[in-house]
Amino acid sequence: MADEAPPYILELAEKWLNGSITPEEKQDFDDWYHHFDFSYADYEGKDTLNPEVIKRRVFEQLLAHMKEGQHALTSSLTTQKNRHLYRWTSMAAAILIAAFAAIYYFHWAKPTFTDIAPGYNQATLTLADGTTFPLDSAQTGIQIGAGNIRYNDGTKLTAVIPTKTEGAHQAMELSLSTPRGGQYQVILCDGTKVWLNAASTLKYPYKFNGDKREVFLEGEAYFSVNSKDAKPFIVKTREQSTTVLGTEFNLAAYADEASVKTTLINGAVRVLHIDSKQPAFFVLAPGEQSILVGNKLTKQKTDVEVASAWKNGQFDFTGKNLEQVMRELERWYDFTVIYEGSIPEMEFYGKVYRNNNLSDVLEILKGAKVRFRIAPGRKLIIENNKKGVQPKKYDMEKT
């Protein structure tokens, strides 16, 4: 059976090369590759992508491997021994071609990683009736005006706001949503400015009525609240209510994060845990951050630049672990992280610009001895580090 295997593998290799291999045959080829001992081929190295080097190394090492345990041949070889040598030589050729094909397949000709560009301005505006309007990516944001909605450069969005004969649009709720890999801005009807981060949704009325200004947030946003309006401005999330008059603050309330963080830049805000049986709240001063985890609301001093770095075009990973870093990258570059085995325990520091391609950020991670590989379908596999231990703390700006 062992003598019959190489011709079959060779046949599969040839079929793969000419594109006629079936899914079942490809599975056989993959299984053979994963069980074949290539340790003697020594195809790793700087010139791995050079097929001539691969062939020479495989051939030399394969012949050396075959000669082990064989008696030295002399000029008095018998016909039987010649046939034996011919058979081994044929097998060597078969294994050589199949080995080269497998190495080519898995290490040279496999689909190369197409770099992922950074996120950009993209969002969708949704009306109360469910009508959606993809917004212009060449624009930075929209402004809610009297009877119209315009881009920040003054261009009017047509066919968005219904006429007065179609209903009282002043009470109409609007929803601005960014996908993974998107960001956008909106200036609300009262002049409040909101910067929306990736994978986020802001719901707000076309016009604030009554004695308060209330919006709802899923994800992350930076607010610069207009203080000229005396009515309180309230930002609600699923578990929290933040009340302000005139202030700037960042609110991160992603569903895939364990906590809701409210960071005050200036002014004052009142943060209330609305789901608690015994309502808990804090009034934050500039430079303070509230953290809601489950039913526990706490506050602490913080570096406000870390929370608001994204608004200024940067990631600030100071004090964040690998999972937190990866979740931020997932949302901005729109890919999926998969962990093999235990997740490395480490703490990051430093800033990285958000306008970098993903490959540039991953290159920095290599300095932290984070082992990874790219998989089809925009997936990043974080591998177990078997060759060493990652540093407990890693400054990304010193790479």
Domains of the chain: 5-108 (no CATH), 120-308 (2.60.120.1440), 313-398 (3.55.50.30)
Q: Which CA distances in Å does 134 have to 80, 127, 176, 193?
A: 78, 12, 10, 20
pLDDT of amino acid 20:
77
pLDDT of amino acid 390:
57
Per-residue pLDDT of the chain (399 residues), as tens digits, is 333 345 676 677 667 656 677 877 777 766 665 555 444 444 444 444 444 554 455 555 545 554 554 444 444 444 444 444 444 444 555 555 555 555 555 544 444 456 889 999 999 999 888 899 999 999 999 999 877 899 999 999 875 665 554 445 556 899 999 999 999 999 999 999 999 999 999 999 999 988 999 999 999 999 999 988 889 999 999 999 999 977 999 999 999 999 999 999 999 999 998 876 666 789 999 999 999 998 899 999 999 999 999 999 999 999 999 999 999 999 999 999 999 888 888 899 999 999 999 988 988 888 888 888 888 888 999 987 655 455 667 677 665
Single-letter residue type at 320: K
Paired residues of 264 in beta bridges: 249
Structure-token match 């004695």, residue found: 211
Quote the CA–CA distance of 208 and 190 in Å, as a whole number.
Answer: 8
Strands 173-178 and 200-205: antiparallel
Q: Is the pTM of this model over 0.75?
A: no
pLDDT of amino acid 32:
65
The DSSP letter of residue 157 is P
Quote the CA–CA distance of 217 and 186 in Å, as a whole number.
Answer: 13
| Selection from 310, 363, 371, 329 nearest residue 346 by Cα | 371
245: exposed, middle or buried (C-beta count within 10 Å: 0-12, 13-18, 19+)? middle
Q: Give Cβ neighbours of residue 182 (< 8 Å, ≥ 6 apart).
A: 119, 120, 121, 122, 123, 198, 199
pLDDT of amino acid 228:
84
